[in-house]
Amino acid sequence: MDRTQAIIVVLVFYVAPLLHVAFAPGAGSLRPPPGSRCPMGPRLGWIVMVLMLGPVGWLMFMARRRRHAPSNAPAAPAASNDRAAPRDHASLGVPKRG
């Protein structure tokens, strides 16, 4: 591998994920949430993870973003096949165990 290829690999697999996490709108804030005992915010935590784990940390960030919708997005409508909330034993007529 020559020097140019090495620079490209570092830029693609190390610098690009760092920039993505640093500027992604869904990464959270740099400041910790109110009442948190941790001095770091979520975005800074993700940046540290990408620094330490490289592409694996970035893949973890991407997987988390796909699982959790942004907090300002409207809630998705419930599907028709969703079950109702579970009921307690008393409403089902089942006696409680002593």
Model pLDDT for residues 65-81, shown as the tens digit of each residue: 777 655 555 555 555 55
Q: Is the pLDDT of residue 87 over 80?
A: no
In the predicted model, what is the mean pLDDT of the chain?
79
Non-local (6+) Cβ contacts of 43 within 8 A are: 21, 22, 27, 28, 29, 30
Euclidean distance between the first and the last CA atom of the chain, given in angstroms as a whole number = 72
Q: Is the pLDDT of residue 56 over 60?
A: yes
Average pLDDT over residues 11-31: 88
At 64 the pLDDT is 86
At 3 the pLDDT is 93
